[in-house]
Amino acid sequence: MAYQAPNIEESWQLALQDEFSASYFKVLRQFLKDEKQNHTIYPAGSRIFAAFNFTPLTAVKVVILGQDPYHGRGQAHGLCFSVPEGVKPPPSLVNIYKELHSDLGIPIPATGNLEKWTKQGVLLLNATLTVRAGDAGSHQGKGWEIFTDQVIRTISDLRAGVVFLLCGNYAQAKESLIDRSKHFLLKAPHPSPFSANRGFFGCRHFSKTNEILKEIGFDEIDWNPVV
């Protein structure tokens, strides 16, 4: 039986087609089907690949890597650290906004929706693309990390001059997947309230990213999420 590829943007579809037909991905699909029989899963199915649909492979300039989708009701919508319009920004995103204000003078917004970033070439990628409601980390180790590791390798192989923002130990463990001879890595602690004071505040990743992009001839990112 031929596999049915997920609803994902064309350049990603082409680059990742072998993953969608791989045995681990078939197991992952079945796991998700079984989960949905007994549990609520976030984000909604139509939003699982939102990061890819907002930011084609051919447009990627910056990668921000998260770990899991938010597991609270109404929070997850397929973009790491982001929440839908009208949902209160979670603590880690609040700390990102504080750093943006300190770094670039951007007023701290009420919105937690980062879609504006994605449309400028910022891939907001979680390592695990789904989660059981109210149960953080519940879909780790089920196959998503194999898939998203390949996403990172694909960006490393097929793109050049991408800025990877690796915040926290989990994200920094992905460093080995990235060709540092052709890409840029900025590392800092995670923006979580538990670690932001250990070096995330003051890292100036956002202005540094724009300095790099400008230097290599790319448009800078307008980091103000307000449209």
List of residues 6+ apart from 165 with CB closer than 8 A? 62, 63, 64, 65, 171, 186, 188, 205, 209
Within 8 A by CB and 6+ apart from 69, the residues are 42, 43, 75, 76, 78, 80, 126, 128, 129, 130, 131
Q: Catalytic: 68?
A: yes
In three-state secondary structure terms, 79 is: coil
Q: How far apart are the first and last CA of the chain?
A: 45
Catalytic residue selected from 34, 68, 103, 149: 68
For the annotated catalytic residues, the residue numbers are 68
